[in-house]
Amino acid sequence: MNTEQLRQLLPIIRNVTYMNTGWAGPSPTPVIKQVSETMELEALNGPASRKGLEFIRGILELGRQSVSDLLDCDREEVWVTHSTTEGVNIVMYGLKWEAGDELVVCDLEHAALMAPARVLAQRKGVNVNVAAVSPKASRDDILAAIDRELRPGVKLIALSHIQYTCGLKMPIKEITNLAHQRGIPVLVDGAQSVGQIGVNVKDLGCDFYAMSGQKWLMGPTGTGALYVDRASMGLLEPHFTTNALEAERPTERLPLARFSLASQSGALVAGLIEAVSIANRVGLGQIETRSGALSDLLRERVSHVDGCELLGPTTGPSACGLVTLRVGNWDPTDLVEELEEQFDIAARAVHNPDGIRFSTHFFNTEDEVERVATTLIEVASRHF
Ligand SMILES: Cc1ncc(COP(=O)(O)O)c(C=O)c1O
């Protein structure tokens, strides 16, 4: 599937230059159709009839299969969740912490990771070691910053694969190697990576990988998944307990079912499966290459604009399809509002570093990048 064919499936792009996929991607029409048709079928079958339950169970299994194919792991190592945050919470609260244990994070992390870290510090007396990582740090600098925090007593390293504010891609494979040499498990927040760049969890070597369906995969909000390496399953105990559908049937018992927090919506999971299928039809390699190239183009265009300052990596293996910049004296939130109201351009404000973030996905075009750059030139001159 090429860019134009994908755009045909995205009604929004007729009206809006949509560069906020890092928050939530627009769902293609076949995804929306799958969600609504599945709901209709569920209602027709009777959602809790034998036929209805079999129908939904089949979709949930397919969901695990499609995510495990995407991440290159076994189906039993994947649990479909409702978000990245849920997966992060399952791991962070699932480990057996004792007062004085240490957790390593970095100072660019999303609240999805920082909030449970803070609660672990308050409730369990866990020491949270925050590695200082600059938004433009080189891979060697990142490794050195993490290495410095790996004192005895560290029980987990928890980091994003791609930092959401500035688009810094972290050297996860190297970090995992470093951690495993000292027997420390690694949790990766993959909210900004899955669907944007190729992710092979076995190659990365991490123990846990949490992801979202609604961002770069353009699936429905309320979908996500958690990967747990088979060898690391014993590290976790469920914090919440429910009578997960599968766990009730001994013959189908799945190792991760006990971490389920709530019933799954078959309709939303059907939408996620369709979203993964579309990403596969486009080609994940093609998505990564094109979204990176569009971001490079945007960075190149704004680098010459008076008053625009790029806040994240500008090139190389640490850069990706997220571009964050400061524009003159604009407050980022005001600028986001101005772009949306006056120019129909959707982006988001971020903090630390404070700026405006553009996400370039495969479906965006060079013309759209040009339009954003031209608009930034115009607005920069107004608040300089
Ligand atoms: C790095 C990162 N982690 C976690 C999240 C939260 O994702 P979800 O809403 O799927 O929990 C986001 C959302 O922007 C994110 O960028």
pLDDT in tens, 241-283: 776 544 555 545 678 888 888 888 999 999 999 999 999 999 9
Q: Is the CB of 164 under 6 A from ligand 1?
A: yes
Ligand 1 centre to CA of 337 (Å) is: 22
Q: Kindly report, residue by residue over 29-52, the tens digit of the pLDDT.
A: 999 999 999 999 999 999 999 999
Q: Is the CB of 357 under 6 A from ligand 1?
A: no
Ligand 1 centre to CA of 49 (Å) is: 35
Q: Is the CB of 209 under 6 A from ligand 1?
A: no
From 106, 107, 160, 164, the mutation candidate for ligand 1 (largest count of ligand atoms within 8 A of CB) is 164
Ligand 1 atom with the smallest distance to the CA of 211 is: 10
Q: Is the CB of 110 under 6 A from ligand 1?
A: yes
pLDDT band for 337, please (50, 70, 90 cuts): very high
From 21, 85, 216, the mutation candidate for ligand 1 (largest count of ligand atoms within 8 A of CB) is 85
User: Percent of the chain beyond pLDDT 70?
Assistant: 97
Say what the pLDDT of residue 99 is: 97
Q: Is the CB of 368 under 6 A from ligand 1?
A: no
Say what the pLDDT of residue 251 is: 44
Q: Is the CB of 160 under 6 A from ligand 1?
A: yes
Dihedral angle, C-alpha 342, 348, 213, 50, nearest 10 °: -60
pLDDT band for 208, please (50, 70, 90 cuts): very high
Ligand 1 centre to CA of 311 (Å) is: 20
What rounded mean pLDDT belongs to the chain? 94
Q: Is the CB of 109 under 6 A from ligand 1?
A: no
Q: Kindly report, residue by residue over 295-315, the tens digit of the pLDDT.
A: 999 999 999 888 899 999 988
Do residues 190 and 197 touch, judged by C-beta distance below 8 A? no
Say what the pLDDT of residue 253 is: 64
Angle at 283 between CA 278 and CA 286, to 5 degrees: 130
Q: Hey, whose CA ends up nearest to atom 7 of ligand 1?
A: 84
Q: Kindly report, residue by residue over 124-162, the tens digit of the pLDDT.
A: 999 999 999 999 999 999 999 999 999 889 999 999 999
Say what the pLDDT of residue 248 is: 54
User: Percent of the chain beyond pLDDT 90?
Assistant: 86
Which residues face 187 on adjacent strands? 158, 208
Q: Hey, whose CA ends up nearest to atom 15 of ligand 1?
A: 191
Residues 169, 242: Cα–Cα separation, whole Å? 36
Q: Hey, whose CA ends up nearest to atom 9 of ligand 1?
A: 83
Q: Kindly report, residue by residue over 55-77, the tens digit of the pLDDT.
A: 999 999 999 999 999 999 999 99
pLDDT band for 179, please (50, 70, 90 cuts): very high
Q: Is the CB of 81 under 6 A from ligand 1?
A: no
Residues 319, 300: Cα–Cα separation, whole Å? 13
Q: Is the CB of 85 under 6 A from ligand 1?
A: yes
Residues 270, 258: Cα–Cα separation, whole Å? 22
Q: Is the CB of 335 under 6 A from ligand 1?
A: no
The domains located in the chain, with CATH, are: 36-279 (3.40.640.10), 283-382 (3.90.1150.10)
Q: Kindly report, residue by residue over 87-123, the tens digit of the pLDDT.
A: 999 999 999 999 999 999 999 999 999 999 999 999 9
Residues 377, 384: Cα–Cα separation, whole Å? 11
pLDDT band for 14, please (50, 70, 90 cuts): confident
Say what the pLDDT of residue 373 is: 95
pTM, full prediction: 0.96
User: What mean pLDDT comes out for the span 219-231?
Assistant: 97
Say what the pLDDT of residue 258 is: 86
